[in-house]
Structure 1
């Protein structure tokens, strides 16, 4: 079987996350999906130089923000200015975006069900609120993968202990949207190692019982 014409590139960048008066050191996953000619960046975190280098001479179709927390968007305007690519964000997270970039708005809204195409491969937008109101995941069925941002990690849901988040909502999003995907779907997360839907789905009731 001929492999898909697109590939997934991965960077880990380091910086800080700030919200509710606190600041924490974080390492972020930056994902690039594309072929030799064009690509999307998913979450332009911290290091614009490294991201632009990874893009190379490809045309950048867009900078997709899985949500508006500052550690996932801090380098987005710089990457956009240097490549001419638009920044895509769900409107429900514009309140978070403006905390970091009050003078630079996103360029295009993301909506549930949107389909973005790169190298002939489709990325479907899944609105998965909970970690933040406008959190989204990107499902690439042809690659059997989903980019989950901070909605789902290896070992549980994303954090919901800060402003604009809801544990009940993130559990519903994971149950209804992510656990409806094929079990062997690879979950490429916003931080840390990938996992599989099949490995996380059996633990949903445990997470609910812990209520974290």
Structure 2
């Protein structure tokens, strides 16, 4: 008689969806055309929205009839938060932001504060999945990443891209700080972890980790 199989691990019902929106990024007197990745994590009933950019109507259409549990801003550059208040008004969901980025937030939304803080170590829940908040400053003071171990995914905003760190040449950014964040908080994740970025293509921790020394040399 063959031995009976053990319990089958539960597979999370949550999935990751991508919406790309287009608009402008404005800071330090300059303006650039950009395409932004808006990430949705959830199932058929509820969803969490990361970085609603440029077009609240398009994001709302992607959400459909699902309940929005939270609107999470990985940082407060205008191209990552400009549609957040309109989406919050439509859905009733709270906007969450790390307090260290409030100065940047107020440049775009001087009359509307976020609804709650994101802090390092916080855990957000949606569709049976936990998203762990990692404070990863450097691109901005309050930049965060969200690690979803059950989905083998980390959402890095503009901290880590396919090919290296996010930009640090503008106000409120710092290259040594972003390198420390990537080295200590992101490259320590399992190598198979998918890195879902704020712009452009996704990558993996294992793909990016070997190039840390090159980035440091390039940045000095």
Q: TM-score, normalised by structure 1?
A: 0.99
Structure 2 unaligned blocks of 5 or more: 1-8
Task: Report the equivalent of 2:124.
Answer: 116
- 2:101 maps to 1:78: no
Shift of 1:181: 0.2
Question: Could you tell me which of 143, 148, 153 is aligned with 1:145?
Answer: 153
The answer to whether residue 201 in structure 2 is matched with residue 193 in structure 1 is yes
Once residues 32 and 79 of structure 1 are traced to their aligned partners in structure 2, the CA distance between those partners, rounded to angstroms, is 13
Tell me the distance in 1 between the aligned counterparts of 2:106 and 2:156. Answer: 22
2:48 is aligned, of 22, 33, 40, to 40
**1:2-13 counterparts in 2 under 5 A?**
3-13=11-21
- Once residues 8 and 203 of structure 1 are traced to their aligned partners in structure 2, the CA distance between those partners, rounded to angstroms, is 27
Deviations 1:33-52 (A, max 9, x none): 00111110000000111100
2:4 aligns to what?
none
CA positional deviation for 1:2 = 5.0
Distance of 2:75 and 2:174 partners within structure 1: 14
Q: What 5-or-longer segments of structure 1 have no aligned partner?
A: none
Deviation at 1:108, TM superposition (A): 0.4
Greater radius of gyration (CA): 2
Q: Distance in 1 between matches of 2:99 and 2:123?
A: 17
Deviation per CA, 1:114-163: give whole Å up to 9, x if none.
Answer: 00010110000000000000000000000000000000000000000000
| 4+ residue segments displaced more than 3 Å | none
1:30 matched to which residue of 2? 38
Quick one: distance in 2 between partners of 1:45 and 1:123? 20
Give the aligned partner of residue 204 of structure 1.
Answer: 212
Measured after TM superposition, the shift of residue 3 of structure 1 is: 3.3
RMSD between aligned alpha carbons? 0.8
TM-score normalised by length of structure 2:
0.95
Q: Aligned residues, how many?
A: 212
Aligned to 1:200, the other structure's residue is in SS state helix
